[in-house]
Amino acid sequence: MNVPITFIIGLSAFMFTVGILGVLLRRNAIVIFMSLELMFNAANLLFVGFAAYHQVLDGQLFVFFVMAVAAADVAIGLALIVMIFRNRHSIDVDKVSSLKG
Amino acid sequence: MLPDMIVYGVIAAVVAGSAIGMLVSRNAVYSALFLVLNFASVALIYLLLGAPFIAMTQVTVYAGAIMVLFLFVIMLLGAEHLPDTQKTSNQGVVAFVMAVVFLAELGMVLLRRGGDGLPIADLPAGFGSPTAIGELLFTRYVLPFEVVSIILLIGIIGAIALIQRQKNTRPALFVLEDRAPEEKEA
Residue in chain A lying closest to B106 (CA): A13
The 10s digit of each residue's pLDDT in B25-69 is 888 899 999 999 999 999 999 999 889 999 999 999 988 899 999
Give me chain B's average pLDDT, please: 82
Percent of chain B with pLDDT over 90: 39
Q: Which of B1, B58, B70 sits opposite A2 (nearest CB)?
A: B1
| A contact residues 12-71, partner B, Cβ 8 Å cutoff | 13-22, 24-28, 30-31, 33-35, 37-38, 41, 44-45, 48-49, 51-53, 55, 57-58, 60-61, 63-65, 67-71
Size of the A and B interface in Cβ pairs below 8 Å: 235
Task: Report the alpha-carbon distance of residue B17 to residue B122 in Å, rounded.
Answer: 28
DSSP secondary-structure letter at B58? I
Secondary structure letter of residue B27 according to DSSP: S
Closest CA to B51 of B117, B153, B143, B130: B130
Of B95, B107, B119, the CB nearest to A10: B107
Residue-level pLDDT at B186: 45
- Fold of domain B1-80: Four Helix Bundle (Hemerythrin (Met), subunit A) (1.20.120)
Instruction: Give the Cα separation of B56 and B179 in Å (integer).
Output: 45
Cβ neighbours of A56 in B, within 8 Å: none
Residue B92 has a pLDDT of: 81
Q: Give B140-162 pLDDT, tens digit per residue.
A: 999 999 999 999 999 999 988 88
Cα four-point dihedral sign A25, B87, B27, B29: positive
B171: pLDDT strictly greater than 60: no
Break chain B into its structural domains and give their ranges: 1-80, 133-186
Which domains are delineated in chain A? Answer: 5-88 (1.10.287.3510)
Q: With beta carbons under 8 A apart, name residues in chain B contacting A3.
A: 4-5, 8, 48, 119-120
Q: Do B127 and A55 touch, CB atoms closer than 8 A? A: yes
Residues near A83 by beta carbon (within 8 Å), at least 6 away in sequence: B162, B163
Confidence of residue B112 (pLDDT cuts 50, 70, 90): confident
Test A21 with B120 for CB contact under 8 angstroms.
no
- Per-residue b or e along A51-90, where b marks 16 or more CB atoms closer than 10 Å to that residue's CB: bbbeeebebbbbbbbbbbbbbbbbbbbbbbbbebbeeeeb
For residue B184, what pLDDT is reported?
46
Reported ipTM: the value is: 0.91
